[in-house]
Amino acid sequence: MRRLVIATRRSRLALWQAEHVKQRLEALHAGLAVELLPLSTRGDEILDRRLDQAGGKGLFVKELENALADRRADLAVHSVKDVPADLPPGFVLAAVMAREDPRDALVSKSFETLASLPKGGVVGTSSLRRAAQIAERYPQLELKLLRGNVETRLAKLDRAEYDAIILAVAGLVRLGLASRIRSRLDVDDSLPAPGQGALGIECLAASGEVASLLEPLNDAATARCVQAERGVSQALGGSCAVPLGAYAEEAGTQLRLRALVASVDGRRIARADCRAADPAAVAADAVAELRRQGASEILSTLGT
């Protein structure tokens, strides 16, 4: 192939990610020309509701997948945390790139940590996962919906609509905004979403030539960790409607996988911390431990 088209969302972060993949592909494959196809997605357009109330994670990827199915694009670049655990038939994540810092970031003009916020301090997030973990540890804080792209969210903070907001470290770093980070939350305090910090490249399963071109971009270690994390999400019906976190990292020859499922108010949380060599096995162990601690009952209250 001498030409590839990347479907991407229009946000500055999404365009940065697609451009990053474009540059890597053109450097790897002499003579290959890569173009971007920016598209607007429902997830970008609906800003007055949480994603779980508007249709879930798929709102960020459906239009891109339509472009692949219609052959307007050859691949799509996603933040893996935005990709539903179950892909539609005929689609594959052909490559998972080396992960950026997976942690959540506290961004504030006045406060260094969540603990330093006063009683009634307003914290902005659109994530049920983040909100549940904050509510568990800091019940004195007020959680308020925060939607929009990174720049929009930062602007709302700067207008003093919030005392602090929680964003992914990876997005801020990629946009050159790491200086806005007041603190990086330890994974034990704010367990990341499955796949957070990693870029995934999706294509049609039948596009063998495209998958071959993408193969050098796949980072085996990150892909193993992401497989384990997404295995938890898949088994538990993970979506934007479920406060679910999962983070895996290599521990010698094994994977260490931490996972949680929470009630929306953070009053009930099931946690697992498991180790195994195989991504599917460690995911299964974590799911079994979460269910032993009452994850099924928690999920039933969420309508999952």
In terms of domains, do 44 and 91 share one? yes
CATH of the domain at 270: 3.30.160.40
CATH of the domain at 111: 3.40.190.10
pLDDT confidence of residue 55? 47
In terms of domains, do 288 and 237 share one? yes
> Six-digit token pair at 188?
């034990």
Q: Tell me which residue has tokens 């992960």.
A: 99
In terms of domains, do 93 and 125 share one? no
Strands 122-125 and 142-145: parallel
* pLDDT tens sequence across 264-290: 999 999 999 999 999 999 999 999 999
In terms of domains, do 7 and 91 share one? yes
In terms of domains, do 8 and 137 share one? no
Nearest C-alpha neighbor of 142 from the set 162, 159, 126, 156:
162
The CA distance from 89 to 288, in Å, is: 27
Q: What angle do CA 176, 188, 185 make, to 5 degrees?
A: 25
The CA distance from 156 to 24, in Å, is: 34
Cβ atoms of 138 and 114 within 8 Å: the answer is yes
In terms of domains, do 56 and 204 share one? yes
44 is annotated as an active-site residue: no
Q: Is residue 193 part of a domain?
A: no
The CA distance from 162 to 152, in Å, is: 13
* pLDDT tens sequence across 155-183: 999 999 999 999 999 999 999 999 999 99
In terms of domains, do 7 and 94 share one? yes
In terms of domains, do 87 and 154 share one? no
Which positions of the chain have pLDDT values less than 70? 1, 42-59, 238-240, 303-304
15 CB contacts (<8 Å, ≥6 apart)?
8, 9, 36, 38
In terms of domains, do 52 and 29 share one? yes
Provide the residue range defining the domain that includes 211: 3-98+198-218
pLDDT confidence of residue 216? 98
Q: Is residue 271 part of a domain?
A: yes
In terms of domains, do 67 and 134 share one? no
Rounded to 5 degrees, φ, ψ at 203 are: -150, 175
Q: Is residue 39 part of a domain?
A: yes
Q: Is residue 83 part of a domain?
A: yes
In terms of domains, do 91 and 109 share one? no
Of the candidates 52, 82, 104, 163, the residue annotated as catalytic is 82
pLDDT confidence of residue 54? 45
pLDDT confidence of residue 91? 97
Domain tally for the chain? 3
Q: Is residue 223 part of a domain?
A: no
